[in-house]
Amino acid sequence: MTASLSFGDATVTLDCGLWSRHLLGAGLELAGTRATLRVRMPFHPQHGARIAVDGPGIRLRERTTRRSSSGYQLDAFVDAGQGRQGSATTPER
């Protein structure tokens, strides 16, 4: 099943299906006037996320670490609890 949603100048396309050959997949693509940004698995970096930027005169490729974002959150919690590091945000924000 495919669905397209428009939000002003932006269009979002969703593809999903129960009988897909892909067990799990998610992606993000942003097309600008100078380049296109593609992110594979943006919500689950531990499953092999990749970032690509393509445009005239630019081609970048990055792979993320396979560590989950909750691991980083747990490290920050432990550090804050032991007084080694302040929180990135304050209660006022």
How far CA 39 is from CA of 23, 72, 84, in Å, comes to 18, 20, 33
In the chain, the amino acid numbered 81 is G
Mean pLDDT within 11-31 = 76
Average pLDDT, the chain: 81
Tens of pLDDT, residues 52-86: 999 999 999 998 888 887 888 888 888 888 887 66
Q: Which of 8-17, 19-28, 34-43 has the highest mean pLDDT?
A: 34-43
d(CA 36, CA 60): 10
Higher pLDDT, 24 or 73: 73
Q: For residue 48, how many C-alpha atoms fall within 13 Å in the half-sphere facing its CB?
A: 2
For the entire predicted model, the pTM comes to 0.59
Give the span between the Cα atoms of 28 and 88, in whole angstroms: 26
**Lowest mean pLDDT: which of 46-50, 75-79, 86-90?**
86-90
